[in-house]
Chains A and B, each alone.
Chain A
Amino acid sequence: MRVRVYFFAFYRDLAGRDELELELDAGATARDAVAALRKDGGGAERIPADPVIAVNEVAAQLDTPLAEGDEIALLPPVAGGTSR
């Protein structure tokens, strides 16, 4: 199946691109997608193996099973709630 991966902010800089299409085996999870793109090299291997992700625009766990056409977004940590 084909899925699309989107990179944001620092992760976009590491990957050197905005997005990427991946071909995965049936039954693959989001974790498999991350592992596949990190093998792709070109800097993407510097993205953490367990990043925060969203699947189809909703925050999701890495063990989420994927389906054809899914959109996986890799989300760097956001600002945080502790005000100074």
Chain B
Amino acid sequence: MKTWITDAPIEAAAVLAAIGASTDGAAAMFLGTVRDHNDGRRVTGLEYDVYRPMAERVLREIADAAGARWQTDRIAAVHRVGRLDIGETSVAIAVSTPHRADAFDACRYIIEEIKTRLPVWKRELYADGETMWLDGRSQIVAGAAHE
């Protein structure tokens, strides 16, 4: 199990290198990347704000919950913060398991939980120089059990 928050570019190969075992026949990876448009506007970059100590704790909780549910400790998850350019990786998740369904399902679970619970916020930078914090759709819930 390896989870971290970083200001540095995410190397997919390094994330993949953190998982895998001789008992695993499947590895799944998800990458979230910075796209160049949103709601019809040209985006030139992103900035992520983070409540870092809480984010480190929550990311670990999410990975632990996935590990318990899909019976694997071969999970790596990292979220980038700070300033990102188009095409850069903002989040990377890799999971390996004996069979592929569990690797896919665990990977999907982790990204959805990150989007719902991780205290990070995205500000878009536009071609015309404007910036805007994106409206979140999810309130972080206190004390809620996450399946």
Contacts and interface: CB of A to CB of B under 8 A. Distances in A.
Interface of A: 6, 8-10, 12-13, 52-54, 57-61, 73, 75-83
Interface residues of B, number: 28
Nearest to A9: B121
Interface of B: 49-51, 53-54, 57, 112-113, 115-123, 133-143
Contacts of B140: 52, 54, 59, 75, 77-78
Nearest to A64: B142
Given A8-B51, A57-B53, A76 B142 contact: no
A54 B136 CA distance: 17
A30 to B, nearest CB: 10
Contact of B143 (A10, A59, A75): A59
Contacts of B112: 81, 83
A9 B50 CA distance: 8
Shortest 7 CB-CB contacts between residues of A and residues of B: A77-B136, A80-B137, A9-B121, A80-B138, A59-B142, A81-B116, A10-B133
